[in-house]
């Protein structure tokens, strides 16, 4: 996740889903800065799960691009997102967005083709969608097809 660390971005849903992601063998990398309380909560989460969850408070464009390019998925559970750019960057690099179906995210992610969308602002809705993504990850043919479709998107 590369994001401003603010309530709008749905980070409480990341915190709520993190345990399940780690239990499933996943790792989470977060870069951004924002509200002090959110940074503290994410820092505590990363401390509890050293090696599985990492937090970098701050922003570096080169590192952000490396995160997009080196990740399988981009978490983007925004409560609202008029446009959003991260999902487009991620798709270009072959990282499939897992995002809430709102605003520009709904416009730029094709559920089940170039990423994964969920509607409810809830940890359960988020976990169901992460589960769908992990199932696709387990099928390399489908996963690679989705990645190729995402990378071929034209957002001009």
CATH of the domain at 56: 3.40.50.2000
In a domain, 127, yes or no: yes
Give the domain extent around 106: 7-79+89-151
Rounded distance, CA 90 to CA 64, Å? 10
Give the start-end residues of each E strand in the chain.
28-32, 53-57, 73-76, 96-100, 116-118
Rounded distance, CA 96 to CA 115, Å? 5
Rounded distance, CA 121 to CA 11, Å? 11
In a domain, 143, yes or no: yes
Instruction: Supply angle C-alpha 152, 134, 147, rounded to 5.
Output: 10
Pairing of strands 28-32, 53-57: parallel
In a domain, 103, yes or no: yes
The tens-digit pLDDT sequence of the chain (156 residues) is 999 999 999 999 999 999 999 999 999 999 999 999 999 999 999 999 999 999 999 999 999 999 999 999 999 999 999 999 999 999 999 999 999 999 999 999 999 999 999 999 888 888 999 999 999 999 999 999 999 999 999 998
Q: Count up the domains in the chain and report the number.
A: 1
């Amino acid at each position: 996740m590369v994001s401003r660390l603010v309530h709008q971005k749905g980070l409480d849903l990341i915190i709520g889903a993190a345990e399940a992601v780690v239990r499933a063998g996943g790792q989470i990398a977060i870069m951004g800065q924002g509200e002090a309380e959110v940074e503290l909560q994410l820092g505590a989460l990363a401390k509890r799960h050293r090696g599985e969850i990492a937090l970098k408070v701050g922003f570096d464009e080169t590192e952000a691009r490396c995160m997009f390019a080196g990740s399988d998925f981009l978490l983007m559970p925004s409560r609202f997102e008029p446009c959003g750019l991260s999902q487009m960057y991620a798709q270009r690099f072959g990282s499939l967005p897992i995002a809430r179906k709102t605003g520009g995210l709904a416009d730029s992610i094709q559920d089940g083709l170039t990423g994964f969308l969920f509607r409810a602002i809830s940890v359960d809705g988020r976990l169901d969608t992460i589960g769908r993504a992990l199932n696709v990850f387990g099928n390399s043919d489908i996963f690679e097809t989705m990645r190729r479709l995402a990378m071929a998107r034209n957002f001009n």
